[in-house]
Structure 1
Amino acid sequence: MKQLFDVSGKTILITGASRGIGKSLALGFRDAGAKVFGTGTSESSISWMESESIHGRVGDFTKDDVSRDLIGSIKKEHGKLDVLINNAGISSHTPISMMKDDEMNRIIDINFKGVFRMCQAYYKTHKHEGGTIINISSVLGLTGFTLASVYSGTKGAVIQMSKAMVAEWGSKFRINVICPGFIETEMTENMQGKGNLMEEFNSRIPMRRMGKPEELLGAAIFLASDASSYMTASTLVIDGGMTGTV
């Protein structure tokens, strides 16, 4: 019987793999037998990768040529990039009334334009071979949340962009989205240290807790493998039931 969830031997690129969800995915795919490339914003942020058998690359995806050069170099070395996982992103807790253009533009550049550029570069370098893209969005791209106006906007844009890319690029590229809920990472540390706030927050989640980064791995492997061969333009929500019960 065909091993539906097998990703061994696949070449996978994960952006924003230096910490949090990206790091967990990188280690998980490595353990599953994939050849993993992970990106970070500096040499120090990826220094741990070599000892973990992950190929680290520094990349600023707000610049056009970085995406093209990175994906092109992986293809040149290995023949093909099988799976692109766009995970890199930043958050903000600035109130709408206090949001400045510089901060807004930075969030848009990284969370939306950076994802667009990576997808575009992947298509241009693999339009004959095809491939698989997994874009990491957020439940805040599906529902509103206080102090997250621009962040929510960019994450919602990633969901709609992914569907539009499927419509335009046809059958050779499968593009799906994972929307995590609130996950225990550096991005949510400011909430985790406040006991009363966390108790109130967790009471809104049917599972009564934040998720762990490793709890996203199963969905990512599913979307990267032949188990999801007829699935595209879809969104998987992994949030402990939060958006399903609002």
Structure 2
Amino acid sequence: MTSNTSHPPFHPADAQLSGRLAGRRVLVTGAASGIGRAIAELFLRAGAQVAALDLRRPADLPGEASRWLACEADITDPQAVERAVQQAADKFGGLDGLVNAAGIANTDWADAVSLQDWKRVIDVNLTGTFNVCRAALPALRAAGAATIVNLSSGQGLQPFKQRSAYAASKAGVIAFSKSIAMEWAPLVRVNTICPGAVDTPMVRGGYSADALRAQVGPRYALERIGEPQEIAMAALYLSSAESSFVTGIVLAVDGGRSYH
């Protein structure tokens, strides 16, 4: 969903992507749909080998089966994560990159959110990111010049009301990512992306199309919500040699909401 603006989404042709991730072996979580799926597909187009991980096995990715792997794991289960990471490393002969895009939302008021729901959001969004990062670390260190891209949210930078659990989890991802960027350098670069509202099943589950157009879009300087591929392009930059001197940053890809 986009509005008629002077800043339409960028859709790169294969010629613009060719070779940008050649030789890279990347694990992408949350790859069944939304931003994670867009990242997995874009990385394949850019030449990477991709392991697509989700709670339920993602649908097959396009292209040669030798270049991708679909695996199933609950990121809140450390043992399941370790098995999936090992499966990916075995198939591709190692891992050079990780993108943590898996996450869930919550829109309860702080005085109404159940303790169970609070813990679930923290467990998936923050602890799940920790589980995957730590499981992948030996392979990433062995590869050298490795990258981690963790997805936080604009809510981690500037929260709204009715986002206390979600915002807390995503702010935690920012702080965690900065910490491991220091601890795991120089062999692993770690950066964070903070998307604004993006046209995904999770966002559409919380808003009608009319609300996205009339209420959400006007919050952004670009007067629209984002598309999954626009977040994927930022992840591509941070996972490529083009960002070789970039680590520990928090990149808002939010159409201007965080300053607007």
TM-score (norm: length of structure 2): 0.86
Q: CA deviation at 1:51?
A: 7.3
How far apart, CA to CA, are the structure 2 residues paired with 1:90 and 1:23?
15
1:14 aligns with 2:28: yes
1:138: which partner in 2?
153
1:166 aligns with 2:181: yes
Contact 2:95/2:139 (<8 A) preserved: no
* Higher percent of residues as helix: 1
How many equivalent pairs are there? 241
Q: CA deviation at 1:25?
A: 0.9
Which amino acid in 2 is paired with 1:25? I
Q: How does 1:175-190 map to 2 (within 5 A)?
A: 175-190=190-205
Contact 2:199/2:226 (<8 A) preserved: yes
Match of 1:111 among 125, 130, 147: 125
How far apart, CA to CA, are the structure 2 residues paired with 1:203 and 1:125?
43
1:60: which partner in 2?
74
2:88: which partner in 1?
74
Q: CA deviation at 1:50?
A: 7.0
Paired residue secondary structure (2:247): coil
How far apart, CA to CA, are the structure 2 residues paired with 1:86 and 1:164?
16
Q: CA deviation at 1:66?
A: 1.7
Contact 2:56/2:72 (<8 A) preserved: yes
Match of 1:92 among 94, 106, 112: 106
Residues 205-243 of structure 1 show CA distances to partners (whole Å, capped at 9, x for unaligned) of: 111110011111221111111100011001111111111
Which amino acid in 1 is paired with 2:79? D
Long gaps (5+) in structure 2: 1-16
Residues 191-218 of structure 1 show CA distances to partners (whole Å, capped at 9, x for unaligned) of: 5425256413222211111001111122
How far apart, CA to CA, are the structure 1 residues paired with 2:172 and 2:112?
22
Greater shift in the superposed pair: 48-57 or 112-121: 48-57
Which amino acid in 2 is paired with 1:216? I
Contact 2:217/2:224 (<8 A) preserved: yes
How far apart, CA to CA, are the structure 1 residues paired with 2:59 and 2:89?
23
Paired residue secondary structure (1:21): helix
Paired residue secondary structure (1:135): strand
Contact 1:5/1:221 (<8 A) preserved: no
Contact 2:156/2:174 (<8 A) preserved: yes
Which amino acid in 2 is paired with 1:137? S
1:220 aligns with 2:235: yes
1:157 aligns with 2:169: no
Greater shift in the superposed pair: 134-143 or 27-36: 27-36
Match of 1:147 among 162, 165, 185: 162
Alpha-carbon distance change, 76 to 187 in structure 1, aligned in 2, over 3 angstroms: same
Q: CA deviation at 1:77?
A: 2.7
How far apart, CA to CA, are the structure 1 residues paired with 2:156 and 2:177?
13
2:61: which partner in 1?
49
Alpha-carbon distance change, 196 to 36 in structure 1, aligned in 2, over 3 angstroms: closer
How far apart, CA to CA, are the structure 2 residues paired with 1:50 and 1:41?
20
Long gaps (5+) in structure 1: none
Q: CA deviation at 1:125?
A: 3.8
TM-score (norm: length of structure 1): 0.91
Contact 2:95/2:143 (<8 A) preserved: no
